[in-house]
Amino acid sequence: MGGKFFSIVLWTSAVSVGQLHYSDEWRKIRVIYGDVLPKRIIVGICGSVKLYCGSSAPVVWRFPDHFTVSRQNSVLRHIQRSSSIVLKKLSTSDSGHYCCVGNYVDGTAFYNCAVVKVVKMLTPGVIVPSWVDVSNGKSVRLNCGSIKPVKWIGIHTFFKSRSTEDNYLIFNKIEKGKSGQYLCIGINQNKNVFHKTVRIIVDGSVIMVPGNLSEYFQHLGLRRE
């Protein structure tokens, strides 16, 4: 049974500074019951990924065939109460489907997967990583695969736009105020202009939400008239 699309909560607690707009709700991660977040992610070699599963009960994670049993056990030992898993020190051979078996709000089972692709850091026309879920004070290094200097633009964040010569946008000690969406404008190997975005979530909190009104009423223990 397939899941539904995920989204990021984008309302309330907003302040404006000049032309910049920032919302505290960027840091909240909305996971719909029956879904895995993010659905697809591109990450660099030796990078890490956090996957969330929207389940109303404990979950079972299934890994690609080449993901060794010892590594699976290491990951599952640290599984969080939110049903999330963290994959660390990834290599290209770790690319594949990471699947979650869980329950919808009404108790019926679901099986849904996230696709993880591990690539070399310079991938033409792609931002690596394509999704960032990080703790306050940690370093973040984004690579935009461009054959020429790129421009980074912050969307809904206190970040000032900047151009770089080496494709990288680096935060040595990222702060919560840097949560938001970032746009890279570059040139791919075909010498065409491309636009790619990446979401950065600093110290995000997870919200489990039903996927439709029927599930919403079930979630509240109410019967819809």
Q: What region does 114 belong to: left with phi over 0, alpha with psi -120 to 50, or beta?
A: beta
Average pLDDT over residues 32-59: 91
The strand pair at 36-37 and 49-53 is best described as antiparallel
The strand pair at 109-119 and 40-44 is best described as parallel
Please state, rounded to an integer, the average pLDDT across all residues of the chain. 80
* Ordered domains of the chain (ranges, CATH): 21-213 (2.60.40.10)
Q: For CA atoms 76, 77, 80, 85, give the dihedral sign.
A: negative
Q: Is the pLDDT of residue 212 over 70?
A: no
Average pLDDT over residues 91-116: 92
pLDDT at 8: 31
pTM, full prediction: 0.79
pLDDT at 21: 45
Q: Is the pLDDT of residue 43 over 70?
A: yes
Average pLDDT over residues 118-141: 90
Of 194, 216, 47, 184, whose CA–CA distance to 116 is shortest? 47
Per DSSP, which regions of the chain are E strands?
7-8, 14-17, 20-23, 28-32, 36-37, 40-44, 49-53, 60-62, 85-87, 96-103, 109-119, 127-128, 131-134, 140-144, 150-155, 162-164, 168-171, 180-187, 193-202, 205-209
Backbone angles phi, psi at 108, to 5 degrees: -70, 150
Which residues, including other chains, have CB under 8 Å from residue 33's CB and lie 6 or more apart? 54, 55, 56, 104, 105, 208, 209, 210, 211, 215
Q: Is 219 helix (H, G, I), strand (E, B) or coil?
A: helix
pLDDT at 67: 86
pLDDT at 39: 94
Least reliable range by pLDDT among 19-33, 68-82, 86-100, 163-177 = 19-33
Find out whether the peptide bond into 38 is cis, omega within 30 degrees of 0.
Answer: yes
Residue 87 to residues 43, 45, 71, 95: CA-CA distances in angstroms? 11, 12, 9, 11
Q: Is 131 helix (H, G, I), strand (E, B) or coil?
A: strand
Average pLDDT over residues 106-116: 92
pLDDT at 179: 87
139-188 pLDDT, tens digit each: 999 999 888 878 888 876 667 777 777 888 999 999 888 888 899 988 88
Query: pLDDT band at 41, cuts 50/70/90?
Result: very high
